[in-house]
Amino acid sequence: MDLLIVGSGFFGLTIAERAAASGRKVVVIDRRPHIGGNAYSEDEPETGIEVHRYGAHLFHTSNPTVWKYVNRFTTFTDYVHRVYTNHRGVVFPLPINLGTINQFFQAAYTPDQARALVHELAGEFDAKDAANLEEKGIALIGRPLYEAFIRDYTAKQWQTSPTELPAEIISRLPVRYTYDNRYFNDTWEGLPTDGYTAWIERMADHSNIEVKLDVDFFDDSQPLNKAAAVGQLPVVYTGPVDRYFDYAEGALSWRTIDLEQEVLPVGDFQGTSVMNYADADIPYTRIHEFRHFHPERADRYPTDSTVIMREFSRFATHEDEPYYPVNTPEDRNGLLAYRELGKGEKDVYFGGRLGTYQYLDMHMAIGSALSMWNNQLA
């Protein structure tokens, strides 16, 4: 074996694939019973509808190197992501655009009129002096739109009032002065034609790659544990960086999500893939309906049942899956301390969203793995 990779998400699998293609023998371990990390998907058994087990995953990128690379393993559908939000029982398009503004104010503003209105409403606070997220939100888009679409949704995401959240959590709140409600601005977007798991399996399908599931790197009873491996061969570690050092510099804080999946006896529950719930009286942040990610599978999917997933957000404990870095000033100091400790680990390479304590979209995880392979490992 030439290389041990801890974690079979997109970061770990990209390194594994590159290493195997250049003749290295690689072992990939994962503590979960499947490969693919958080991008893993499976067909819901009753309906056959593909469900993203760890929350909805939409692929999008403007990076030509990444786009070329991923197309070696899968083709993509022409799915274009759009999100809507329910506020007081009325549905509005997101991100906030001219359609949202005109519906909200019951008006027919031109782009210039809408821009002038938002500018006037935003004058209540100066973004530079905002003392908390609420003041920043109002300074960016004005109080009415902030209170309708941002305040309660943000409070649900963080389980904290925006008046107690730091202003720097948001740097901008995009408002589009056209009716364009495409969610992503990237050059390429789509969903893997045969699903995420087929894509992921093709990346790992090489005689130089051995995958071992249900294996935890910190379980001393299994042969590829930390104590046995580090120093003996190069290790790419994509698990949580604080866990690697046994929380020596404190635990970094994360948000997690709880997902509540349900099969409903209707052909179409909400008419779209993602519906946000902007108000405080609905405890979940959004509902995903998975059939709408693949309209091209209409002839394969049932017409009398559908799969939905309600998403709830909260702070993570050690037992939870870490999903989004909270990134407080203490976290940033902790991360710097862990980076220093990391420099002392011989031949251990920290990567991926958990290993670097960074929110990474899939194309970013793949792009940074390609860079690590080319610049440090190859």
Contact positions toward ligand FDA, by CB under 6 A?
Answer: 6-12, 29-32, 37-39, 54-59, 216-218, 238-239, 257, 323, 352-354, 360-363, 365
* Helix, strand, or coil (residue 39): helix
Nearer to ligand FDA, 53 or 87 (CB): 53
Residue written as tokens 């049932």?
A: 302
Nearer to ligand FDA, 98 or 354 (CB): 354
Catalytic residue among 182, 202, 255, 314: 255
Question: Taking the complex as a whole, how short is the minimal distance between the CB of residue 178 and ligand FDA, in angstroms?
Answer: 23
Catalytic residue among 172, 246, 299, 300: 172
Catalytic residue among 18, 53, 151, 286: 286
The question of whether 286 is a catalytic residue gets the answer yes
- Phi then psi for residue 375, to 5 deg, are -95, -25
The question of whether 115 is a catalytic residue gets the answer no
Dihedral of alpha carbons 271, 272, 274, 280, sign: negative
The question of whether 151 is a catalytic residue gets the answer no
206, exposed or middle or buried, with CB in 10 Å at 0-12, 13-18, 19+?
A: middle
Whole-number Å distance between alpha carbons of 366 and 360: 9
Contact 208, 25 (CB under 8 A): yes
Residues belonging to the chain: 378
Whole-number Å distance between alpha carbons of 369 and 14: 6
The question of whether 42 is a catalytic residue gets the answer no
Nearer to ligand FDA, 126 or 262 (CB): 262
The question of whether 172 is a catalytic residue gets the answer yes
Question: One-letter amino acid identity for 242?
Answer: D
DSSP class of residue 70 equals H
Question: Taking the complex as a whole, how short is the minimal distance between the CB of residue 118 and ligand FDA, in angstroms?
Answer: 28
Whole-number Å distance between alpha carbons of 167 and 171: 8
Question: Taking the complex as a whole, how short is the minimal distance between the CB of residue 110 and ligand FDA, in angstroms?
Answer: 33
Nearer to ligand FDA, 103 or 222 (CB): 222
Catalytic residue among 134, 311, 331, 353: 311
Whole-number Å distance between alpha carbons of 287 and 276: 6
The question of whether 176 is a catalytic residue gets the answer yes
Question: Taking the complex as a whole, how short is the minimal distance between the CB of residue 202 and ligand FDA, in angstroms?
Answer: 16
Question: Taking the complex as a whole, how short is the minimal distance between the CB of residue 332 and ligand FDA, in angstroms?
Answer: 19
Give the active site residues.
172, 176, 255, 286, 311, 359, 361
